[in-house]
Amino acid sequence: MTPPSRTLEAEIGELLGEQGLTLAVAESCTGGLLGHRITEVPGSSNYFLGGIISYSNEAKENLLGVQHQTLLRHGAVSEETAREMAQGARRALGSDLALAVTGIAGPGGGTIEKPVGLAYIALAHAGGEIVERHVWPDGRSQNKIHSAEAALTLLRSYLNHRTAP
């Protein structure tokens, strides 16, 4: 019998524990799915400090400190907003690292410039931020799953390639 494979969330938990780092999340289009996946791992309270679901622009501004001008100039679904969301979660929760996800899950809300399925994922750390842009081809639920998976994959990659501060 083959032992069950380790989940992405469990692998991240081990890496965070080994490196002595804490994590927070800021979610928009994933609506709490990212935090849910992280907390499915027993012992996640040792490294996961919490999350902020900031679905509205007002919540992004008031809870995460996203600048009003950023939202006006670039929109809620943008690299700039994702960066500020991640920085804001890191600051608000006092974590070493923070993930942020903002996007257009669908089925409506897309434009030619910002199509349905567009998502920005940001990771804030002591040295700055990393941002990825994705466009998912599926429906709402699957786009949310893709976005959460991409955020966890970005974090794992960072932790696997991180050098000590």
Helices (H), the chain: 8-19, 33-39, 57-64, 68-74, 79-93, 140-161
Residue 20 scores a pLDDT above 80: yes
**Please, which pLDDT band fits residue 2 given cuts at 50, 70 and 90?**
very low
pTM for this entry: 0.94
**Please, which pLDDT band fits residue 106 given cuts at 50, 70 and 90?**
confident
Q: List the CATH code of the domain at 8-161.
A: 3.90.950.20
How is the chain split into domains, by residue range?
8-161
**Please, which pLDDT band fits residue 163 given cuts at 50, 70 and 90?**
low
Mean pLDDT, the chain, as a whole number?
Answer: 94
| Nearby residues of 90 by Cβ (< 8 Å), 6 or more positions away | 24, 96, 97, 98, 124
| Burial of 127 from C-beta contacts in 10 A (0-12 / 13-18 / 19+) | exposed
